Chain A
Amino acid sequence: MGLDDEGSKLKKSFFSSIDKKLTLLFVIVALVAPTLAIYYFYIISVSVLPESLSSEQSVLLETTAAVVIVLIAVDAGVIGFFVSRSISKPIKELYKATKDVEKGNFDVRTDIITNDEIGELSRAFNRTTAALSRMDEARREIDDAKTEFLSITSHELRNPMTPMKAQLQMLENEYFGKLTKKQKDSLTIIIRNADRLDKIIVDFLEISRIENARLKFVFRATNLKETIHETVEFMKGFAKEKNIKLVVKAEDLPTIEADPDRISQVLRNLVNNAIKFSPKGSEIEIDAEAKKDRILFSVKDCGCGLTPENQINIFEPFYQVEKAASREYGGTGLGLAICRGIVESQKGKIWVESKLGEGSTFYFTVPLQPVRKIEPIKILFSQKNALERKIKEEFETMLGPLGVGEFNELKSKNALWKGDLFEYIDSLTEQYILTDRQGNDFKNRIRCIFDVGKKVIDKEDDTLRDSHGREVIERD
Chain B
Amino acid sequence: MQKRQIFQEITKTLYIKNIFTNNKNYNIYAKRWDVMKKILVVDDEPDVRETVKIILEQRGYEVITAVDGDDCLNKLHEENPDLILLDIMMPGTPIGDIVEQIEDTKIAFMSVVRISEARKKGLCKQDNVVDFIQKPFDVIDLVRRVELILNE
Contacts and interface: CB of A to CB of B under 8 A. Distances in A.
A234 B2 contact: yes
B139 A169 contact: yes
Given A162-B112, A166-B55, A175-B58, A233 B136 contact: no
8 contacts: A161-B135, A162-B135, A163-B50, A166-B142, A233-B1, A233-B2, A234-B5, A476-B113
B16 A163 contact: no
A460 interface: no
B29 interface: no
Contact of B116 (A159, A164, A237, A476): A476
Interface residues of A, number: 26
B54 interface: yes
A99 interface: no
A167 B48 CA distance: 10
B59 to A, nearest CB: 11
Given A166-B55, A170-B54, A216 B136 contact: no
A163 B54 contact: no
A213 to B, nearest CB: 15
Interface string B97-116: 00000000000000011101
Q: Give chain B's interface residue range (CB within 8 Å of chain A).
A: 20 to 34
Interface of A: 155, 158-167, 169-170, 173-175, 198, 216, 230-231, 233-234, 237, 474-476
B116 A216 contact: yes
Contacts of A164: 136
Contact of A162 (B5, B16, B117, B137): B137
Contact of B113 (A160, A161, A475): A475
Interface of B: 1-2, 5, 16, 19-21, 23, 45, 47-48, 50-52, 54-55, 58, 112-114, 116-117, 120, 135-140, 142
Contacts of A231: 1
B16 A173 contact: yes
Contacts of B139: 166, 169-170, 173
B51 A159 contact: no
Contact of B136 (A162, A174, A476): A162
A306 B52 CA distance: 48
A158 B5 contact: no
Contacts of A162: 45, 47-48, 51, 112, 135-137
Contacts of B47: 160, 162-163
B117 A474 contact: yes
Contacts of B45: 159, 162-163
Query: Which residue of A155, A161, A162, A231 has the most chain B CB atoms within 10 A of its CB atom?
Result: A162
Nearest to A176: B54
A97 B106 CA distance: 62
A476 B1 contact: no
B87 to A, nearest CB: 10
